Chains A and B, each alone.
Chain A
């Protein structure tokens, strides 16, 4: 039995008062179907001209796209931040651990010797008062008197 006959029989059984094969009474404008494919293609071409290739189509569900993009960025930045911070902590901890381990290989004496020999260098200028007068006399002994007087004349005399 073909589908048409099967449908007719089914209808007779369930609704005998409803005839099968009643047509649709609507009308269609003349030549509508002759031009439909051309009209659709025209529409397709118009749309492809209207919509140049874009990287992101934010028209459709734009809030959803933006929210998704923001979430992905947030996750990426958070992961990067925590990863970097952890690496820094780990490297600092590793250095301290290494120093503690290496320091046990030296005796206390050698360590104190090292500390003394590497004591911070005094960078301040020693005061003139601390210099011994005898030492100065010794230093200027060999300098001719004329040269000393020339030098003294060149020094500004506006000191109080």
Chain B
């Protein structure tokens, strides 16, 4: 599948007759990265799907006003991150009786996955990641899986590069300890 350039997508999005086609091209270009970013944060596919739909609806609503002083990719990641954090925040606020899963924690959700295999390293890594504090989890997944440079991550999360490095280092050490002990 050939992907259009961001400039081309933006130009076509601003023309009424090519708006939807441009949006389709944008979703197809970024859907995998956005989905996996959300999925690693919220764990279940159903929740990730809800979050992803909301992310792209927000992108649709905001794209016309998007000023090209930041990269489209950075802007979308910022929206995606905010949407994931809002979703997790809403989950925390739900009454415990209606949210047994939340009570058990995200690590328990990982274990509840149909394909979960406790012996496999990739599943152990997921459990270790879900035990990190929210911000460290974000920083770790953006760096480890999305291979995002600190400079770009700083723009997405609004945190200094130094603080992000420190956060990533702490997270990586904690995960290493977990993997060595389990």
Contacts and interface: CB of A to CB of B under 8 A. Distances in A.
A and B interact physically: yes
Interface of A: 3-4, 7, 11, 14-20, 22-29, 32-33, 36-41, 43-44, 47
**For the complex, would chain B's binding face be called helix, strand, loop or mixed by DSSP majority?**
helix
Contacts of B49: 32
A43 B58 CA distance: 12
A48 to B, nearest CB: 10
A23 to B, nearest CB: 6
A18 B52 CA distance: 29
A38 to B, nearest CB: 8
Contacts of A23: 122
B87 interface: no
Contacts of B35: 28, 33, 36
B57 A7 contact: no
Given A22-B125, A24-B122, A41 B172 contact: no
Contacts of B67: none
A3 B23 CA distance: 29
Nearest to B121: A22
Contacts of B121: 19, 22
A5 to B, nearest CB: 10
Interface in B125-140: 125-126
A24 B126 contact: yes
A33 B31 contact: yes
Contacts of A38: 24
A19 B39 CA distance: 21
A3 B20 CA distance: 34
B6 to A, nearest CB: 16
A92 to B, nearest CB: 54
Contacts of A3: 147, 149
A15 B176 contact: yes
A40 B53 contact: yes
